[in-house]
């Protein structure tokens, strides 16, 4: 084999998968059609469970540029409506406002540190597979060549050639009613509140920063990121022509949406500067995430509205879910059916993201009926339990991959302390953990596979957890007993061993 795993695409999802595979001891080869890393401004940050996951891989501080763990947000948005989060008992909304260019740079740096190979200017151009391998045709600077690999993963975006060549359908809907425009743009500092960043527009009113703001004429977003200020608009049934977008076009759109003139100016200096028009949008989900030895992650598997910024939260967690399972398969230590759980776990999550982003898009549309619907939603959002549910939905905190006798099984492992050490610090290696903070620590004596790290200590409660590398709980118990021991043995066999244990303890 030329490579154990070939990854098509060196965007965030492909790079994250490369990191996960290297942590598990598998050598990936990443192919990227662009000759240099992409410097075009795109997404402006990360939101949701993936922020906490990056903390568990030691990448949060690198990206944030500040020490310490992430903290939840006091407010966020759903369908251009403010979610008051500060009073929630368990606030799951974590935000990392870092441009995608920086995210990719940090992930690339980490992948290379771990020994991944990245070939810029080399593009997947064909594939064929048999029962044992995939033959990948690659077009590079010096011509066409072939690679033979155990598995191929398509992380090559919404127009994924990997998906098309594998014969995987991409059903969904296209909505061409909305035209969105985004550009790097400045407003007069006199209109910005230095304490809150809110924009006060004469003749209109106050618009909070970074929040989708709906009017009866469209949508407006003011995003004063330091050194990269941007303005976005969205309009419905707007007959945009096919010419290249101009800054003047954004100015005219902003004025129409707001109903007043807001003077905008282009930033000085060299770019790259954002100037983008998008007509319509797609909500599509691959009918399967795997075809033989070809798998899909990120936008190759799903595309949806960008409302609420769920794209990287979904795609990066695809990669983290797949990485340890694919590594186990490559290394011959995967229990039967383990790799199939990638699709069975992640595709339903993709369905929910498509659903909630379509719902948000409906809530920002113009019209009296939508205004009435928003009024009803506003009443519902005065109830903390409704805010909690929406917050968990948009962040993925409501994900439960499988059920079990303990409420934590199948869910995101809580951010507990083991002695004076945070769980996030114990997960930096990407290995599965058996954490035992029960009174007698008896579960730590369990006979476990060598790849599982056993950690003991004291915590705020008596608890033992078997935690998968992607941060989800495979088994949990609060006290020692026959049923708990049997449950641990079953979970070890289900997730980490190709054969059942003969004994639960040494």
pLDDT tens per residue, range 144-157: 999 999 999 999 99
CA dihedral 311→312→313→318, nearest 10 degrees, is 100
127 lies in the same domain as 222: no
List the domain range (segments joined by +) for residue 139: 3-172+283-395
Which of 173, 213, 219 has the alpha carbon at shortest distance from 354?
173
Q: Residue 251: phi, psi to the nearest 5?
A: -60, -45
256 lies in the same domain as 290: no
- Last residue in a domain, options 342, 369, 395: 395
148 lies in the same domain as 209: no
CA dihedral 356→359→363→367, nearest 10 degrees, is 170
pLDDT at 503 over 60: no
The more confident residue out of 370 and 459 is 370
Task: Domain count for the chain, please give it.
Answer: 3
In this structure, the chain runs to a length of 506
427 lies in the same domain as 388: no
231 lies in the same domain as 299: no
Helix and strand element counts for the chain (H, E): 12, 26
Instruction: Look at residue 100 and tell me if it is in a domain.
Output: yes
Give the strand order in the sheet containing 213-215: 213-215, 218-223, 230-236, 172-184, 275-285, 302-303
- Last residue in a domain, options 365, 395, 425: 395
pLDDT in tens, 180-198: 999 999 999 999 999 999 9
Instruction: Look at residue 402 and tell me if it is in a domain.
Output: no
Percent of the chain exceeding pLDDT 90 equals 81
Question: What is the pLDDT averaged over residues 18-40?
Answer: 94
pLDDT in tens, 41-55: 677 789 999 999 999
pLDDT in tens, 282-295: 899 999 999 999 99
Question: What is the pLDDT averaged over residues 313-327?
Answer: 97
pLDDT at position 498: 67
193 lies in the same domain as 147: no
Instruction: Look at residue 207 and tell me if it is in a domain.
Output: yes
Rounded to two decimals, what is the model's pTM? Answer: 0.94
Distance CA 433, CA 455 (A): 7
Question: What is the pLDDT averaged over residues 307-323?
Answer: 94
273 lies in the same domain as 298: no
CA separation, residue 495 to residues 131, 318, 394 (Å) = 24, 17, 28
pLDDT in tens, 71-125: 999 999 999 999 999 989 999 999 999 989 999 999 999 999 999 999 999 999 9
Query: Which range has the worst mean pLDDT, 6-10, 34-38, 49-53, 234-238?
Result: 234-238
pLDDT band for position 499 (cuts 50, 70, 90): low
Could you give the angle at which helices 384-395 and 340-363 cross, rounded to 10 degrees?
Answer: 130
Distance CA 305, CA 235 (A): 15
456 lies in the same domain as 477: yes
Instruction: Look at residue 401 and tell me if it is in a domain.
Output: no
Question: What is the pLDDT averaged over residues 131-135?
Answer: 97
pLDDT at 334 over 90: yes
Task: Residue 39: count other Cβ atoms within 10 Å of its Cβ.
Answer: 12
pLDDT at 391 over 80: yes
Distance CA 320, CA 20 (A): 6
Which two structure tokens, joined as six digits, stand for 389? Answer: 């549910």
Question: What is the pLDDT averaged over residues 200-221?
Answer: 93
Which two structure tokens, joined as six digits, stand for 43? Answer: 């997404």
CATH of the domain at 262: 3.30.70.2450
pLDDT in tens, 165-175: 999 999 999 88
pLDDT at position 506: 30
197 lies in the same domain as 253: yes
Distance CA 368, CA 68 (A): 46
Q: Which residue is associated with the tokens 């044992």?
A: 132
| Average pLDDT of the chain, as a whole number | 93
Q: Residue 242: phi, psi to the nearest 5?
A: -90, 10
439 lies in the same domain as 418: yes
Instruction: Look at residue 403 and tell me if it is in a domain.
Output: no
pLDDT at 494 over 70: yes
pLDDT at position 142: 95
234 lies in the same domain as 255: yes
pLDDT band for position 505 (cuts 50, 70, 90): very low
pLDDT at 501 over 50: no
pLDDT at position 500: 47
12 lies in the same domain as 115: yes
Query: Which range has the worst mean pLDDT, 92-96, 120-124, 242-246, 324-328?
Result: 242-246
CATH of the domain at 29: 3.50.50.60
Distance CA 93, CA 415 (A): 14
Q: Which residue is associated with the tokens 């190759």?
A: 300
Instruction: Look at residue 79 and tell me if it is in a domain.
Output: yes
- Last residue in a domain, options 332, 360, 395: 395
pLDDT at 504 over 60: no
Instruction: Look at residue 435 and tell me if it is in a domain.
Output: yes
CATH of the domain at 417: 3.40.30.120
Instruction: Look at residue 405 and tell me if it is in a domain.
Output: no
**Is residue 124 classed as helix, strand or coil in its secondary structure?**
strand
pLDDT at 140 over 90: yes
pLDDT at position 106: 97
């Amino acid at each position: 084999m030329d490579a154990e795993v070939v990854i098509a695409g060196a965007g965030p999802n492909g790079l994250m998968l490369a990191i996960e595979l290297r942590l598990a001891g598998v050598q990936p080869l990443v192919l990227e059609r662009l000759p240099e890393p992409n410097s075009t401004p795109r997404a402006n940050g990360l939101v949701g469970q993936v922020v906490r996951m990056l903390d568990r891989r030691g990448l949060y501080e690198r990206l944030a540029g500040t020490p310490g763990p992430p903290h939840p947000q006091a407010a966020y948005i759903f369908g251009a409506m403010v979610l008051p989060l500060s009073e929630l008992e368990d606030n799951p909304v974590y935000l990392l406002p870092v441009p995608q260019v920086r995210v990719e740079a940090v992930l690339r740096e980490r992948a290379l540190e771990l020994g991944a190979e990245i070939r810029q200017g080399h593009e997947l151009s064909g594939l064929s597979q048999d029962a044992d391998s995939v033959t990948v045709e690659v077009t590079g600077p010096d011509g066409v060549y072939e690679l033979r690999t155990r598995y191929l993963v398509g992380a090559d975006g919404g127009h994924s050639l990997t998906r098309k060549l594998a014969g995987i359908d991409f059903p969904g809907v296209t909505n061409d009613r909305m035209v969105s425009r985004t550009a790097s743009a400045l407003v007069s500092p006199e209109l910005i509140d230095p304490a809150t960043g809110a924009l006060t527009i004469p003749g209109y009113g106050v618009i909070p920063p970074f929040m989708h703001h709906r009017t009866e004429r469209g949508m407006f977003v003011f995003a004063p990121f330091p050194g990269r200020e941007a303005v976005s608009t969205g309009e419905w049934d707007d007959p945009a022509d096919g010419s290249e977008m101009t800054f003047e076009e954004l100015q005219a759109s902003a004025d129409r949406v707001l109903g007043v003139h807001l003077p905008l100016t282009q930033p000085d200096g060299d770019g790259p500067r954002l100037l983008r028009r998008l007509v319509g949008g797609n909500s599509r989900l691959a009918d399967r995430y795997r075809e033989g030895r070809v798998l899909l992650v990120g936008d190759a598997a799903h595309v949806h509205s960008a409302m609420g910024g769920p794209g990287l939260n979904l795609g990066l967690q695809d990669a983290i879910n797949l990485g340890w399972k694919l590594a186990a398969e490559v290394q011959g230590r995967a229990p039967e059916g383990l790799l199939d759980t990638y699709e069975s776990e992640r595709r339903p999550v993709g369905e929910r993201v498509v659903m909630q982003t379509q719902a948000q898009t409906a809530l920002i549309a113009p019209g009296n009926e939508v205004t009435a619907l928003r009024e009803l939603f506003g009443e519902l959002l005065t109830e903390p339990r409704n805010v909690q549910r929406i917050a968990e939905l948009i962040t993925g905190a409501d994900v439960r991959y499988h059920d079990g006798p303990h409420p934590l099984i199948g869910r995101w492992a809580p951010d507990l302390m083991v002695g004076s050490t945070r769980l996030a610090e114990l997960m930096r290696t990407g290995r599965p953990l058996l954490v035992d903070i029960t009174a007698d620590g008896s579960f730590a004596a369990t006979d476990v596979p060598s790849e599982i790290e056993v950690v003991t200590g004291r915590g705020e409660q008596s608890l033992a957890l078997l935690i998968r590398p992607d941060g989800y709980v495979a088994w949990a118990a609060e006290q020692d007993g026959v049923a708990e021991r049997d449950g641990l043995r079953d979970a070890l066999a289900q997730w980490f061993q190709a054969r059942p244990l003969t004994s639960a303890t040494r």
